[in-house]
Chains A and B, each alone.
Chain A
Amino acid sequence: MKIRAIALNTFKETIRDRILYLLFFFAAIALGISRLLAVLTVGDRVKIIKDVGLASISIFGVLMAILIGTGLVYKEIDKKTINTLLAKPIQRWQFLLGKFFGLVLTLFIMTLAMGLIFLVIVLLHTGKLDSRMLLAILFIFLELVLITAVAILFSCFSTPILSSIFTLSFYLIGHLSWGLETLIQKTRPGTGRMALRGLSAILPDLENFNFKTEIVQGLAIDPRFYLFSALYGLVYTLFILALAVLIFKKRDFI
């Protein structure tokens, strides 16, 4: 109940944020441009629309999660709105979860809106819809949920600018960490390889949420991989949230 009240308030806060609409505006333009790019392309035009479209949803969704998420907790502390809130009978973890779910709800609506525009463009161009497209969008959303948790974690102890840089780094590392696998294979067995293995275990692998290529190219995906990716997202998000709660629990609000 209390988490819901805070989540609802956070939803109001984020949905009234101008940055959100600015990003949404650009996302809509990018989606429109995908249609334009298709016209200029030789070859399979539908693939270009799908590829650019899904990438736009992903990139603008991540920007929304980072730019809004990193300010959520910091603003409350900076403007001292948190003082009256925590003087009410709520626990600190309830506050954090409320903030998290509030932004997740906003991102859900935004992903839905961007997804709709995308699907309409695809439908207008091809005259049919591939249900796997929805799956691709769903996994983009799951990635956004994880990014939101990371943004909130950094927002617990750092300024929005620094938190944005940290979260963006997390996102970039997450999408490039698969490169480590190649490095591990090329390294001789020994301490070096062990260290790289350790690093690869800790670093996030956000490519787990990326089904764009397979779906756009119409390749088959093992259903177990969907399940693994969803579980991976859930466990990683819970881990990050738990870390945020631990840090937040000990904070003094001066």
Chain B
Amino acid sequence: MAAVLEIENLFKSFKVGFIPKKREILKGVSRSVAAGEIFGYLGPNGAGKTTTLKCVLGLIFPDRGKIEIFGHPPLSAKGKEHVGYLPENPYFYDYLTAAEFLDFYARLFGLRKKDKEDKIATLLRLVGMEKARDLQLRKFSRGMLQRVGLAQALINDPALLFLDEPLGGLDPLGRKELRDVIVRLKQEGKTIFLCSHILQDIEMICDRVAIIVGGRVISQGALQSLISERVLFTEVTLSGIDPADLIDLGEPVSTLGDRILLKVFQEDNIENLIALVHERRGRIHSLVPRTQTLEDIFVEMVRQG
């Protein structure tokens, strides 16, 4: 698939302190994002995720390196015509109402009056904010701002969407709703570049991921190829068995009443365990095999990096 975003060997440093000292944030980041995918860009706090995004959007100037959005340099208006951006912890003009705010951004794209009104109504519905249409943004909660933020990012019907921690500050229901919106946007053919450190979200929706630690991309690829299908251990909840008998079979994690949560590492032991429970007339309540998760890989890589 054609690449919509190309980043090559990006370097960026900032001068900090009273006596300026150079601090390197990005140390040679290269990425390519293909059309139509959800690309997850993850890393711990301060790894350089937002800095990369800001370089791409022309908000800060990289020291070295090349960036192309749809074949255009980042500062060109042409490249930005098809781009949407939701920043981390969005904060907007608090003296405007949600509708006025979206109207302002729609004007920047030269939308016609009728199209503008339709678009604003559709977007407010999409992010579940139609009731807050005439409310000033100063009265919005963090989650509401996040939703309006997503709406403004979609005002130009962008082909490429940059979302920086889009699910931060949302309640569980809100997270699910916004996750669904993101997946729907992908189905509409949009490319999504998602920065996050909430791995669960990334794991659920991303096609490909890159992990950045200390300004360097240390791993990248399709999600399936990063996460192995190998079963790491099996979590078994059982009751009616003396914990002392279980020590050889696995590692007891916790007990709640007569229920024991046991981590079983070898597959052979599971059969032995089932046989034991059967023999002692105990009960197995659940048996969950745990494969490797993105979190396991992430933790391992951050430690190494």
A83 & B104 in contact (Cβ 8 Å cutoff): no
Interface size on A, residues (CB 8 A): 26
A89 & B107 in contact (Cβ 8 Å cutoff): no
Residue in A closest to B96 when the chains form the complex, CB atoms: A12
Residues of A within 8 Å of B96, CB to CB, are 9, 12
Which A residues from 57 to 91 make CB contacts under 8 A with B?
79-81, 83-91
Min distance, Cβ B61 to any Cβ of chain A, angstroms = 6
Residue B134 interfacial (CB < 8 Å): no
Residue in B closest to A16 when the chains form the complex, CB atoms: B95
Which A residues from 72 to 131 make CB contacts under 8 A with B?
79-81, 83-91
Which B residues from 39 to 75 make CB contacts under 8 A with A?
54, 57-61, 75
A83 & B93 in contact (Cβ 8 Å cutoff): no
Min distance, Cβ B168 to any Cβ of chain A, angstroms = 14
A254 & B60 in contact (Cβ 8 Å cutoff): yes
Q: Which of B79-87, B173-181, B196-204, B233-241 contacts A (4 or more CB under 8 A)?
A: B79-87
Residues of B within 8 Å of A9, CB to CB, are 93, 96, 104
Residues of B within 8 Å of A81, CB to CB, are 91-93
Complex-state Cα separation, A87 to B160, whole angstroms = 12
B77 & A91 in contact (Cβ 8 Å cutoff): yes
Residues of B within 8 Å of A13, CB to CB, are 93, 95
Residue B152 interfacial (CB < 8 Å): yes
Residues of A within 8 Å of B130, CB to CB, are none
Known: A5-B107, A254-B14. A87 touches B57 (CB 8 A): yes
Min distance, Cβ A13 to any Cβ of chain B, angstroms = 6
Which B residues from 144 to 173 make CB contacts under 8 A with A?
149, 152-153, 156, 162
A89 & B109 in contact (Cβ 8 Å cutoff): yes
A89 & B108 in contact (Cβ 8 Å cutoff): yes
Residue in B closest to A79 when the chains form the complex, CB atoms: B91
Min distance, Cβ B57 to any Cβ of chain A, angstroms = 5
Which A residues from 1 to 52 make CB contacts under 8 A with B?
1-2, 4-6, 8-9, 12-13, 16
In the complex, the number of residue pairs spanning A and B with C-beta atoms less than 8 Å apart equals 79
Min distance, Cβ A89 to any Cβ of chain B, angstroms = 4
Residues of A within 8 Å of B85, CB to CB, are 83-84, 87
Complex-state Cα separation, A87 to B104, whole angstroms = 14
Residues of A within 8 Å of B156, CB to CB, are 88
Residues of B within 8 Å of A83, CB to CB, are 54, 57, 59, 85, 87
A252 & B77 in contact (Cβ 8 Å cutoff): no
Complex-state Cα separation, A1 to B104, whole angstroms = 11
* Contact string against B for A residues 239-254, beta-carbon threshold 8 Å, 1 for contact and 0 otherwise: 0000000000010111
Complex-state Cα separation, A252 to B57, whole angstroms = 11
Residue in B closest to A87 when the chains form the complex, CB atoms: B85
Min distance, Cβ A169 to any Cβ of chain B, angstroms = 25
Min distance, Cβ B121 to any Cβ of chain A, angstroms = 19
Min distance, Cβ B80 to any Cβ of chain A, angstroms = 4
Residues of A within 8 Å of B162, CB to CB, are 87
Contact for A88 among B91, B109, B149, CB less than 8 A: B109
Residue in B closest to A13 when the chains form the complex, CB atoms: B95
Residues of A within 8 Å of B60, CB to CB, are 252-254
Contact for B80 among A79, A87, A254, CB less than 8 A: A87
| Besides the known contacts A9-B93, A88-B156, A253-B60, 6 further A-B residue pairs in the complex with CB atoms under 8 A apart | A2-B108, A13-B93, A87-B59, A88-B109, A89-B109, A90-B77
Q: Could you jot down 10 A-B contacts, CB within 8 Å?
A: A1-B107, A12-B100, A81-B91, A81-B92, A83-B57, A83-B85, A84-B85, A86-B58, A89-B77, A89-B81
5 tightest A-B CB contacts, nearest first:
A5-B107, A89-B77, A87-B85, A252-B60, A89-B80
B residues at A contact (CB < 8 Å): 14, 54, 57-61, 75, 77-78, 80-81, 83, 85-87, 89-93, 95-96, 100, 104-105, 107-110, 149, 152-153, 156, 162
